[in-house]
A and B are shown apart, each in its own frame.
Chain A
């Protein structure tokens, strides 16, 4: 009997601890639950302007090394014996994650060249205005211009210089254009390059995912003195992200 009671007391002790443990657990549980219920979240999201990429390539998105502006023949004639006064070249502006861009030109004024830019598209031989021999395709690809020449805004145009040359009187050597005296030694000594850019941004075309490519025709126009024995000019084409 005594043993029974002892055992029972012992059990009761265990029960007390167990009940206490349970209560404690329940209290903890309630507290923890309340804490859980009370959590709420706000997620505020905003798109990030990602650093876009933009670069200039030759026609048909081929490597820039195939963009070749050499070999302009100002004395080239058509079938009727009339001289051409321009030559066209195609280049690609391509990149990623961009909505629009501006094209910029900077060029020296040794020759009396002017430049026009046209948006262009790939087309067939019959419709083609400019041809480009593609190394990757091993084929000739044709381009035509779409729309009028892109309006250009000049940074350093001087009033009265219709052909957009820097001021002949002060900014570059008059002798450069004095073909009779043969003063080639002072060629381009004071020439100042012309800077211009497209008046408005050009929207990207031919999008594939985040990538795009736009074709352009660069028209090199010669006016005034036309000769092939002038010193070479330099032309820089830059594409600048607008948005």
Chain B
């Protein structure tokens, strides 16, 4: 806009007018952009998990990577009940779709948290969480953070069972989610030990996935410790201090009773991983997960 006006070589007076107009517009644009950023950033922080494609008119080609359901696709997802898949893929403030890979507006994929024994989750369960990572650029650093959420069972009328996302504003459901994050422990290898434990809510980094066009498999191992004493050997005091059951002074009894609370309020555990890519390794030292290249 400036350039066009400048090229026309207007008289001093017009130029002055143009400049005045231009500067106002520039400030206005600046403000609008700031406002947009501010709004979008705030929205992101508030939701802390979503890409809002509405306000920002996101350029879809700019995705630095995509995520996919691990390995044999649908088979890997069979453990998720079709009835439970629907609320997940239709979750109103999430962008999980039914496709097995992210692309465009579908910024998330739903896969199964697979249990080793094929049975539903319970204290003592172990299993894996796997997904495919497809970098679109070389040498990217992938970081992730986890939000624990869940679905609850509700009766729709007399007979039909429906699933709904848990309501974090409901104190019982919020407590169940807090308890869940201290009961479902993640590890970077199948050796469950304090050294291998990954505090998912604090974040993790994925290494080795450095070649564009190459598919990688990321595997997490998890365990729901059967008792407090099992759990105690994996964690430190700082971590323990976060959870209310210890503040209540309930100790091991509180921990073991929490299994009941989780089971009562949560029908489907949903572990949401928010993955980011950047060229900058960042200052935070977080646990590193090694990705395996898929042939």
Binding site for B on A (CB under 8 A): 4, 7-8, 11-12, 14-15, 18-19, 21-22, 24-26, 28-29, 32-51, 208-210
Known contacts A8-B19, A48-B150, A50-B263; 14 further A-B pairs (Cβ under 8 A):
A15-B23, A18-B26, A22-B30, A28-B33, A35-B278, A37-B64, A40-B66, A40-B108, A42-B131, A42-B275, A43-B108, A45-B85, A46-B112, A50-B267
Contacts A12-B19, A48-B120: A34 and B33 contacting too (C-beta < 8 A)? no
Does A29 contact B114, Cβ atoms closer than 8 Å?
no
* Chain B residues near A47 (CB-CB < 8 A): 79, 81, 84, 120-121, 267-269
**At the interface with chain A, which of B153-161, B236-244, B287-295?**
B153-161
**Looking at the complex, which one of B37, B64, B276 makes contact with A29 (CB distance below 8 Å)?**
B37
* Chain A residues near B62 (CB-CB < 8 A): 33-34, 37
Contacts A42-B109, A43-B96, A210-B161: A49 and B274 contacting too (C-beta < 8 A)? no
Contacts A21-B30, A32-B41: A44 and B58 contacting too (C-beta < 8 A)? no
Closest CB-CB distance, A168 to chain B, in whole Å?
A: 43
Contacts A11-B23, A35-B276, A47-B84: A40 and B67 contacting too (C-beta < 8 A)? yes
Complexed CA–CA distance, A205 and B71 (Å): 38
Complexed CA–CA distance, A30 and B144 (Å): 22
Does B120 contact A36, Cβ atoms closer than 8 Å?
no
Interface of chain B residues 1 through 51 with chain A (CB within 8 A): 12, 16, 19-20, 22-23, 26-27, 29-30, 33-34, 36-37, 40-41, 44, 49-51
Does B113 contact A39, Cβ atoms closer than 8 Å?
no
**Looking at the complex, which one of B44, B67, B119 makes contact with A41 (CB distance below 8 Å)?**
B67
* Chain B residues near A7 (CB-CB < 8 A): 16
Complexed CA–CA distance, A97 and B276 (Å): 39
* Chain A residues near B66 (CB-CB < 8 A): 40
Does A45 contact B19, Cβ atoms closer than 8 Å?
no
Complexed CA–CA distance, A137 and B73 (Å): 54
The answer, yes or no, to whether B235 is at the interface (CB within 8 Å) is no
23 contacts between A and B (CB under 8 A): A4-B16, A15-B19, A18-B27, A22-B33, A25-B33, A35-B276, A36-B52, A37-B59, A39-B51, A41-B95, A41-B109, A41-B272, A41-B273, A42-B111, A45-B88, A45-B269, A45-B271, A47-B84, A48-B121, A48-B269, A49-B120, A51-B260, A210-B155
**Looking at the complex, which one of A8, A22, A35, A46 makes contact with B26 (CB distance below 8 Å)?**
A22
Does B263 contact A38, Cβ atoms closer than 8 Å?
no
Closest CB-CB distance, B8 to chain A, in whole Å?
A: 17
Contacts A26-B33, A33-B56, A209-B159: A41 and B23 contacting too (C-beta < 8 A)? no
The answer, yes or no, to whether B264 is at the interface (CB within 8 Å) is yes
The answer, yes or no, to whether B110 is at the interface (CB within 8 Å) is yes
The answer, yes or no, to whether B175 is at the interface (CB within 8 Å) is no
Does A44 contact B271, Cβ atoms closer than 8 Å?
yes
Does A36 contact B111, Cβ atoms closer than 8 Å?
no
The tally of residues in B whose CB lies under 8 Å from a CB in A reads 81
Question: Which 10 residue pairs are nearest across A and B when measured between Cβ atoms?
Answer: A41-B108, A18-B26, A46-B113, A25-B33, A49-B122, A44-B113, A21-B30, A49-B120, A37-B62, A51-B263
Chain A, Cβ-Cβ closest to B22: A15
Closest CB-CB distance, A53 to chain B, in whole Å?
A: 10
Contacts A37-B64, A42-B109: A32 and B270 contacting too (C-beta < 8 A)? no
* Chain A residues near B65 (CB-CB < 8 A): 38, 40
* Chain B residues near A29 (CB-CB < 8 A): 33, 36-37
Closest CB-CB distance, B135 to chain A, in whole Å?
A: 11
Contacts A40-B67, A208-B159, A209-B159: A45 and B112 contacting too (C-beta < 8 A)? yes
Complexed CA–CA distance, A42 and B220 (Å): 12
Closest CB-CB distance, A149 to chain B, in whole Å?
A: 31
Closest CB-CB distance, B113 to chain A, in whole Å?
A: 4
Does B269 contact A42, Cβ atoms closer than 8 Å?
no
Complexed CA–CA distance, A113 and B40 (Å): 77
**Looking at the complex, which one of A32, A42, A49, A51 makes contact with B37 (CB distance below 8 Å)?**
A32
* Chain A residues near B260 (CB-CB < 8 A): 51
Does B121 contact A51, Cβ atoms closer than 8 Å?
no
**Looking at the complex, which one of A8, A15, A38, A48 makes contact with B278 (CB distance below 8 Å)?**
A38
* Chain B residues near A49 (CB-CB < 8 A): 119-122, 263
